[in-house]
Amino acid sequence: MVSLSDRLIFVLGAPSAKPLEEEFGIRTVDDLLRHYPRSYVEGGARRGVGDERPEAGEHITIVDVITETETFPMKKTPRRQCLRITLGTGRNKVTATFFNADYIKKDLTKNTKVMLSGEVGFFKGVMQLTHPAFLILDSPDGKNHGTRSLKSIADASKAISGEVAMEEFERRFFPIYPASTKVQSWDIFKCVRQVLEVLDPVDDPLSPDVRAEHGLVSEDEALRAIHLAEDEPDRRRARERLTFDEAVGLQWALVARRHGELSESGPRHRPGLTGWRLNCWAGCLSS
């Protein structure tokens, strides 16, 4: 198992750990888990094309087989192509349109089982998604192919259990982390998921009595909930505990610094000059 002090390079491997260190200075498990989400975005329940219709603007995740594909030129740049795919048939069909589709049309082919995730709209009564995230679910090579967001979730799920767990895509909320062009939020979420899956229970520096007095959850619960909790009350309790820890840590740092200043010795005097200096100071004070 894994503790907070363990180096990420030994937990995640160099390909995942090195970019975190280069971009954010994150080296240990503790560093990663203290890289808190800056916000949360709403996910969507997984649906089939025959399920009850969602409202326009709702974010959904849908799974089915591609029944039709069509390519057509973009209006403003005819040299580039758009791809429209259809899932299902008749009244229950769903269309999805992808722009600049030269690189994905080889993956999104007829009879391929896919997952699509995006904001739903309607055109002439047909449910449609515009440039949604996608994931190929029956890739011949057994690897996860798709847009970075869904692929990262699938990779994390597969790294933990050996197969893609479909329930991972049914989360009501996903955390959004401070990120960079080289390490995106989905990459960080993938690493956090892997770490939390193997992390030992975190020892709590606060006693049960202190936690009860202040109405605080345990540190272990807080560190997990701030990243994975899907309910706002759970995330709020996690923030309260972590904020309390930071405030206590700051007070200890101030006390330690003050204690250090008081205990520091002054500059060493050169031998034989102490009496001369005292005489000078006495003269200055008496003048």
pLDDT at position 53 is 73
How many helices (H) does the chain have, and how many strands (E)? 9, 10
pLDDT 10s digits, 88-116: 766 678 999 998 788 888 889 999 888 88
pLDDT at position 97 is 93
The 8-class DSSP code of residue 49 comes to T
- Residue 31: burial class (beta carbons within 10 Å; 0-12, 13-18, 19+): middle
DSSP string, 82-139: EEEEEES-GGG-EEEEESSGGGTTTTS-TT-EEEEEEEEEEETTEEEEES-EEEESS-
Q: Is the pTM of this model over 0.75?
A: no
Share of the chain above pLDDT 90, in %: 37
CB atoms within 10 A of CB 94: 22
Q: For the chain, which residues make up each domain, given as ranges?
A: 1-40+176-200, 46-152, 208-247
Range name among 200-204, 222-226, 279-283 with the lowest pLDDT average: 279-283
pLDDT at position 167 is 59
pLDDT at position 15 is 92
Cα radius of gyration rounded to whole Å, the chain: 28
pLDDT at position 62 is 80
pLDDT at position 262 is 53
Architecture of domain 46-152: Beta Barrel (2.40)
Residue ranges with strand state E in the chain:
39-42, 46-47, 59-73, 81-87, 94-98, 113-123, 126-130, 133-136, 145-146, 173-176
pLDDT surpassing 60 at residue 274 = no
Mean pLDDT of 123-133: 87
Residue 48's pLDDT band (boundaries 50, 70, 90)? low
pLDDT surpassing 80 at residue 8 = yes
pLDDT surpassing 60 at residue 50 = no
> What is the chain's mean pLDDT, rounded?
80
More confident residue, 174 or 167: 174
pLDDT surpassing 70 at residue 118 = yes
Mean pLDDT of 76-86: 88
pLDDT at position 224 is 97
pLDDT at position 96 is 93
pLDDT at position 282 is 41
pLDDT at position 164 is 62
Range name among 8-17, 63-72, 218-227 with the lowest pLDDT average: 63-72
Mean pLDDT of 167-188: 78
pLDDT 10s digits, 138-158: 777 777 788 877 777 777 666
